[in-house]
């Protein structure tokens, strides 16, 4: 199949291009390099060195009008994988301009991609990255896809209710409704992937055969909790869960994310179908992650301390969390990586790049309240 | 109270400024005049003559960064009424550029207004116009506001599920989630008004005491069904419901919309509360509306014919529709206008401006499928 990856320069996009070529697909892609730019705005830098950006063709989904380059990339596509979104919740909560950049890049960019597909490849399968964070942490099981809902004795199948935790997550919710509408109005086929938090940086299937290393951000704007915890362990500063640490999320290693995306592509929905997949392997609380990182660091002889810091986010620190995630398993997903082994590899690599970790910049200063100040350690 | 109206040049904004001054409020406002521009792009023109645009100060919510004029307008505001959105579903389904303009103006504009409020008047009450169209036409009762939902025996209160019928309606859904988040994260207080279709053009409380006439669009992009039906009756061409005509929606006259907005303003929610009001008086099917317009036209001695045309939209033409709309009644809303009387006034005014109705341009050519061609009459 001919697969076009929007956002091919990114954390997942670049490893995915290798994985899908290895699976026998013809892969093309593009990027507008906004991620590189934003990480620099945030004062960060990928811990792993980045390859030359010119290896990926330039195309910006925000440049709308018909006849823009995106239409040319989509010609003949069987699958379009849309990874070209701003992925950071704290970035979107930083200030007016960052929130607007998020909505403009994610919501408007997705709309433009939908229209371009409708013009150029209306039969192609859109695989779009949403986020498990669209759902928030409701006090009910999170169903996968449209759910049977009953009100006053009548029922209908409806998109499962969302409660996004940031303007970034809200931009993903907006995408969900736009993509679902495109399926309903135009007969587009789409898989909307509610992905958990992806961790790890290693991937196979590079032309040279050696271990690939994707970009790896540890700054508090673009680094996820696991990334920053590993960087803290390697830098021998305390590992810092936010608040009580009972916040629970779904996680999966990078290689499993690639596997799942491959499965989604090779099992397309019918024309007009809007399909949701909740994509993660297992749930962990932030406190459990900190322990996992401690244990993996100990494998490398590093003793690390866990110190809780105040929570800059507006989120529940202890809550119910039972999201369904059966569909990918039904389609053949087999988890291949144990979290401990993955964290060992991750920490092993980071140790090689220890001098690229900016220890001063590991604690967040963007508060959901709008405040801007470095978080404080909580009393033990 | 000091009330600031974003979108004060519009169909509701200008009459509302008069109504609220009459209610004793201090009213300021601004507009970026996008509506005037878009109607011209669509080849239309308000049937009622427009006043000089310079009567309303210019400010564009899309101009983001801190320190932009919007912050200056919001200083000292007790209430911010946000009507500054692109209001047309067909416009949003026309092409890539129109869909992107919709998302950029509505979603990004709302985000920027939220941030400006957080900076300048975090205690002010945001009154935001959403749309009953956010819900679509589910096969269940539509509840008002957050609803108790039960899944597998557990329950939680969640935003009632949405099923928007166009990219315009999806932009309103995106706003809903952004506004709700701003209440949760920042403690903003907001009333999100899911408004039905507003009809009529007359309003009182002008300084001179005579009947005010707001803008009135009858082109198929910016004219609602009632507007176009009345224009068709006056122009003595067939009244043209789409499809079977069983599509049912909530409606309210312009004067009742002003009354309801006044009630929302004078009964603010608590700090941090996100409140939804379903704002309409009564539901009608499109077929019933056509009959109502026929009867009202007959009052003026005009005999009009109803001819169904193919439906350019992707929507159910016969469906269940029972939305709750109790809260405004509980707060004191008293419907003041009978639809027949309102339609008589409306048609009476249109008859004076009959030479400004472009008969050639009353049938739509924007299809939800992406096709662009004038709709055909259906066989009787």
Which pair of tokens denotes residue A195? 């992905």
Nearest by CB to residue B181, choosing from A116, A161, A170, is A170
Strand order in the sheet with B282-285: B197-199, B248-253, B282-285
Contact A96 B112 (CB under 8 A): yes
Contacts of A117 in chain B (CB under 8 A): none
Largest Cα–Cα separation, chain B: 62
Which pair of tokens denotes residue A47? 């811990």
Contacts of B149 in chain A (CB under 8 A): 140, 149, 161
Give me the residue label for tokens 């350019």.
B312
Nearest by CB to residue A107, choosing from B112, B174, B314, is B174
Do residues B8 and B30 make contact, with C-beta atoms less than 8 angstroms apart?
yes
C-alpha to C-alpha distance for B150 and A355, rounded to whole angstroms: 52
B8 three-state secondary structure? coil
Given CB atoms, is B326 within the 8 Å cutoff of chain A? no
Residues belonging to chain A? 380
C-alpha to C-alpha distance for A226 and A346, rounded to whole angstroms: 10
Tell me the angle at which helices A167-186 and A109-120 cross, rounded to the nearest 10 degrees.
20
Do residues A84 and A56 make contact, with C-beta atoms less than 8 angstroms apart?
no
- Residue A52, Cβ density class (10 Å: 0-12 exposed, 13-18 middle, ≥19 buried): exposed
What are the phi and psi torsion angles at A318 (to 5°)? -155, 125
pLDDT at position B65 = 61
C-alpha to C-alpha distance for A171 and B30, rounded to whole angstroms: 27
pLDDT in tens, A42-101: 888 999 999 998 999 999 998 766 556 899 999 999 999 999 999 999 999 999 999 999
C-alpha to C-alpha distance for A82 and A361, rounded to whole angstroms: 30
Given CB atoms, is B138 within the 8 Å cutoff of chain A? yes
C-alpha to C-alpha distance for A303 and A349, rounded to whole angstroms: 17
pLDDT at position A67 = 58
Give me the residue label for tokens 């409606």.
B251
Q: What angle do CA B289, B136, B133 make, to 5 degrees?
A: 65
B191 three-state secondary structure? strand
Per-residue confidence of chain B (380 residues) as pLDDT tens digits? 999 999 999 999 999 999 999 999 999 999 999 999 999 988 889 999 999 989 999 999 987 665 568 999 999 999 999 999 999 999 999 999 999 999 999 999 999 999 999 999 999 999 999 999 999 999 999 999 899 999 999 999 999 999 999 999 999 999 999 999 999 999 999 999 999 999 999 999 887 788 999 999 999 999 999 999 999 999 999 999 999 999 999 999 999 999 999 999 999 999 999 999 999 999 999 999 999 999 999 999 999 999 999 999 999 999 999 999 999 999 999 999 899 999 999 999 999 999 999 998 899 999 999 999 999 999 87
Q: How far is B168 from chain A (nearest CA, A)?
A: 10
Tally of CB atoms within 10 A around B237: 17
pLDDT at position A207 = 75
Contact B161 A173 (CB under 8 A): no
Contact A151 B174 (CB under 8 A): no
Given CB atoms, is B63 within the 8 Å cutoff of chain A? no
Please, what is the end-to-end C-alpha distance for chain A in angstroms?
Answer: 55
H helix or E strand, kind and range, residue A203: strand A202-203
pLDDT in tens, A133-169: 999 999 999 999 889 999 999 999 999 999 999 999 9
Nearest by CB to residue A99, choosing from B93, B97, B115, is B115
Given CB atoms, is A316 within the 8 Å cutoff of chain B? no
pLDDT over 80 (residue A341): yes
For residue B102, give the chain A residue with the closest CA.
A108
Contacts of A107 in chain B (CB under 8 A): 103, 107-108, 174
Largest Cα–Cα separation, chain A: 62
Which pair of tokens denotes residue A95? 């200030």
**Looking at this predicted complex, what is its ipTM?**
0.96
Contacts of B185 in chain A (CB under 8 A): 93, 166, 314, 368-369
Q: How far is B18 from chain A (nearest CA, A)?
A: 32
Confidence of residue A208 (pLDDT cuts 50, 70, 90): confident
Write the secondary structure of B248-269 as one string of H (helix), E (strand) and C (coil): EEEEEEHHHHHHHHHHHHHCCC
Given CB atoms, is A159 within the 8 Å cutoff of chain B? yes
pLDDT at position B66 = 56
Which pair of tokens denotes residue A54? 């010119």
C-alpha to C-alpha distance for A67 and A90, rounded to whole angstroms: 34
Contacts of B312 in chain A (CB under 8 A): none
Do residues B297 and B234 make contact, with C-beta atoms less than 8 angstroms apart?
yes
pLDDT at position B67 = 58
What are the phi and psi torsion angles at A306 (to 5°)? -105, 125
Q: How far is B366 from chain A (nearest CA, A)?
A: 13
Which pair of tokens denotes residue A294? 């401690």
- Residue A283, Cβ density class (10 Å: 0-12 exposed, 13-18 middle, ≥19 buried): middle
Do residues B193 and B128 make contact, with C-beta atoms less than 8 angstroms apart?
yes
Tally of CB atoms within 10 A around A28: 16
CA-atom Rg of chain A in angstroms: 20
For residue B67, give the chain A residue with the closest CA.
A96
Q: Which residues contact B123 (CB under 8 A, 6 or more apart)?
A: B189, B271
H helix or E strand, kind and range, residue A127: strand A125-131
C-alpha to C-alpha distance for B302 and B293, rounded to whole angstroms: 10
Query: Taking the C-alpha atoms of A149, A179, A19 and A31 in order, what is their torsion angle to the nearest 10 degrees?
Result: -150
Contact A158 B161 (CB under 8 A): yes
What mean pLDDT do residues A358-378 have?
Answer: 94
C-alpha to C-alpha distance for A121 and A116, rounded to whole angstroms: 8
Contacts of A185 in chain B (CB under 8 A): 93, 166, 314, 368-369
pLDDT in tens, A275-296: 999 999 999 999 999 999 999 9
Contacts of B368 in chain A (CB under 8 A): 185-186
Contacts of B140 in chain A (CB under 8 A): 149-152, 154-156
Q: How far is A83 from chain B (nearest CA, A)?
A: 19
Strand spans (E) along B169-241: 189-195, 197-199, 202-203, 212-213
Strand spans (E) along chain B: 2-6, 26-30, 79-82, 125-131, 146-151, 154-159, 189-195, 197-199, 202-203, 212-213, 248-253, 274-279, 282-285
Given CB atoms, is B170 within the 8 Å cutoff of chain A? yes
Do residues A86 and A34 make contact, with C-beta atoms less than 8 angstroms apart?
yes
Homologous superfamily of A2-361 in CATH? Answer: NAD(P)-binding Rossmann-like Domain (3.40.50.720)
Write the secondary structure of B267-310 as one string of H (helix), E (strand) and C (coil): CCCCCCCEEEEEECCEEEEHHHHHHHHHHHHHHCCCCCCECCEC
Scanning chain A, the segments in alpha helix (DSSP H) are 13-22, 34-41, 69-74, 89-94, 96-103, 109-120, 167-186, 225-235, 254-266, 286-299, 327-330, 339-352
**In this structure, what DSSP letter does residue B363 have?**
S
H helix or E strand, kind and range, residue A197: strand A197-199
Given CB atoms, is A188 within the 8 Å cutoff of chain B? no
Give me the residue label for tokens 């003559």.
B49
Q: Which residues contact A312 (CB under 8 A, 6 or more apart)?
A: A90, A242, A364, A365, A366, A367, A368, A375
Indicate left, alpha or beta for B250 from its phi (over 0: left) and psi (-120 to 50: alpha).
beta
Nearest by CB to residue B163, choosing from A95, A158, A171, is A158
Interface of B with A in 94-113 (CB under 8 A): 95-97, 99-100, 103-104, 107-108, 111-112
Which pair of tokens denotes residue A362? 């590991």
Query: Taking the C-alpha atoms of B279, B283, B286 and B288 in order, what is their torsion angle to the nearest 10 degrees?
Result: -140
Domain boundaries, chain B: 2-361
Do residues A177 and B170 make contact, with C-beta atoms less than 8 angstroms apart?
yes
Q: What angle do CA B56, B61, B62 make, to 5 degrees?
A: 130
Do residues A110 and A175 make contact, with C-beta atoms less than 8 angstroms apart?
yes
Do residues B11 and B198 make contact, with C-beta atoms less than 8 angstroms apart?
yes
Given CB atoms, is A66 within the 8 Å cutoff of chain B? yes
pLDDT in tens, A229-246: 999 999 999 999 999 999
Given CB atoms, is B160 within the 8 Å cutoff of chain A? yes
For residue A99, give the chain B residue with the closest CA.
B111
For residue B100, give the chain A residue with the closest CA.
A108
**Pairing outcome for strands A248-253 and A282-285:** antiparallel
**In this structure, what DSSP letter does residue B50 have?**
P
Given CB atoms, is B150 within the 8 Å cutoff of chain A? yes
C-alpha to C-alpha distance for A240 and A326, rounded to whole angstroms: 32
C-alpha to C-alpha distance for A129 and A12, rounded to whole angstroms: 11
């Amino acid at each position: 199949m001919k697969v076009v990856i929007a956002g091919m320069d990114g954390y997942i996009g670049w490893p995915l291009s290798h994985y899908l070529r290895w699976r026998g697909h013809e892969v093309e892609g593009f990027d507008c390099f906004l991620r590189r730019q934003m990480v620099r705005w945030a004062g960060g830098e990928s811990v792993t060195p980045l390859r030359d950006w010119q290896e990926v063709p330039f195309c910006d989904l925000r440049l709308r009008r018909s006849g823009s380059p995106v239409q040319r990339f989509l010609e003949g596509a069987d699958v379009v994988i849309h990874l070209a979104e701003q992925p950071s919740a704290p970035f979107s909560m930083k200030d007016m301009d960052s929130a607007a950049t998020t909505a403009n890049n994610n919501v408007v960019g997705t709309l433009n991609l939908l229209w371009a597909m409708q013009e150029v490849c209306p039969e192609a399968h859109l695989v779009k990255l949403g986020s498990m964070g669209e759902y928030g942490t409701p006090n009910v099981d999170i169903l996968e896809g449209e759910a049977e809902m009953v009100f006053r004795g009548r029922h209908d199948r409806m998109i499962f209710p969302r409660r996004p935790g940031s303007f970034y997550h809200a931009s993903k919710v907006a995408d969900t409704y736009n993509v679902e509408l495109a399926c309903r109005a135009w007969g587009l086929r789409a898989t909307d992937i509610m992905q958990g938090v992806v961790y790890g940086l290693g991937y196979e299937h590079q032309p040279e055969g050696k271990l690939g290393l994707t970009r790896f951000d540890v700054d508090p704007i673009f680094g996820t909790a696991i990334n920053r915890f590993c960087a803290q362990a390697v830098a021998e500063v305390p590992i810092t869960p936010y608040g009580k640490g009972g916040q629970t999320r779904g996680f999966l290693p990078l290689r499993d994310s690639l596997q799942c995306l491959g499965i989604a592509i090779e099992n397309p929905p019918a024309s007009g179908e809007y399909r949701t997949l909740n994509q993660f392997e297992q749930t962990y609380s932030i406190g459990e992650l900190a322990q996992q990182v401690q244990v993996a660091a100990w494998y490398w002889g590093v003793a690390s301390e866990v110190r809780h810091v105040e929570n800059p986010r507006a989120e529940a620190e202890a809550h119910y969390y039972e999201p369904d995630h059966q569909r990918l398993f039904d389609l053949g997903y087999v988890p291949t990586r144990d979290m401990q082994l993955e964290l060992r590899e991750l920490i092993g690599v980071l140790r090689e790049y220890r001098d690229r970790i900016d220890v001063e910049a590991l604690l967040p200063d963007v508060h959901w309240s709008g405040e801007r100040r470095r978080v404080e350690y909580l009393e033990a």
